Amino acid sequence: MKKALAFLVVFLLFANVYSQNKPAFWDDIQQFKTLNKENPPPKGAILLLGSSSFTYWRDVNSYFPGKTFVNRGFGGSTLTDLNFYSDELLKPYAPKQIIIYCGENDLAANENLKPREVFNRFKHFYAEIRKYYPEVPVAYVSMKMSPSREKLWPKYTVANAMIKKFMDRKENAEYIDITKAMNSAEGKIREDLFLEDRLHMKPEGYQIWKKVMEPYLK
């Protein structure tokens, strides 16, 4: 009895420690696994991967009639997180195209981070994709210039340029530039496209994304 009780105490302590030390976004990934089990994702869909700009696009399928999307964006994530969970984010699916929006949070989370490190993180994730899907078209949506992160715009611009150059040299790869389309006629960021947090977009912002992205969709 004492041994059983001691075992139970140790088990509970271990479980408590584990729950407090779960990797970042562990619960999000477990939720994706549950969704996949309860409602298996269709083969041949367009797979969205990245941070909250995709997470908030819950009704993405309604923007593109005739296209099927599987949205696996999880808010707050970085390219480091996409690399950490690459197996879970890639293996369960058989997409006809993969579209990525990520990198904004990398630079926001660490003011000392250089654009080249963001680029290197993206290159690593691209290589992970190619392990599973050597020929599937991959597209990267450029980092938007969120008004709340104005001080990071120069770094976003440099990282975007690096990723564009990389994608332009790859087969079955596209760089989708949404930055210019979100500017006013005067070339300034349209703050009216953003929610009060000046970070996430209103439906009007996603309408612009739709127009820019549509020609690239498979």
Encode pLDDT of 93-107 as tens digits: 999 999 999 999 999
Give me 152's structure tokens.
């990071």
Of residues 141 and 3, which shows the higher confidence score? 141
Segment 22-29 shows an average pLDDT of 93
State pTM to two decimals.
Answer: 0.88
Domain locations in the chain? Answer: 43-216
The full DSSP string for 169-197 is: TSTTEEEE--TGGGB-TTS-B-GGGB-TT
Q: What is the mean pLDDT of the chain?
A: 91
Confidence of residue 213 (pLDDT cuts 50, 70, 90): very high
d(CA 5, CA 169): 62
The residues near 150 (Cβ < 8 Å, ≥ 6 apart) are: none
Question: Is 176 within 8 Å of 184 (Cβ atoms)?
Answer: no
Q: For residue 56, what are the CA distances in angstroms to 9, 39, 64, 140, 151?
A: 41, 20, 16, 17, 23
Confidence of residue 7 (pLDDT cuts 50, 70, 90): very low
Confidence of residue 1 (pLDDT cuts 50, 70, 90): low
pLDDT tens digits, one per residue of 33-68:
999 999 999 999 999 999 999 999 999 999 999 999
Residue 12 confidence (pLDDT) above 50: no
CATH of domain 43-216: 3.40.50.1110
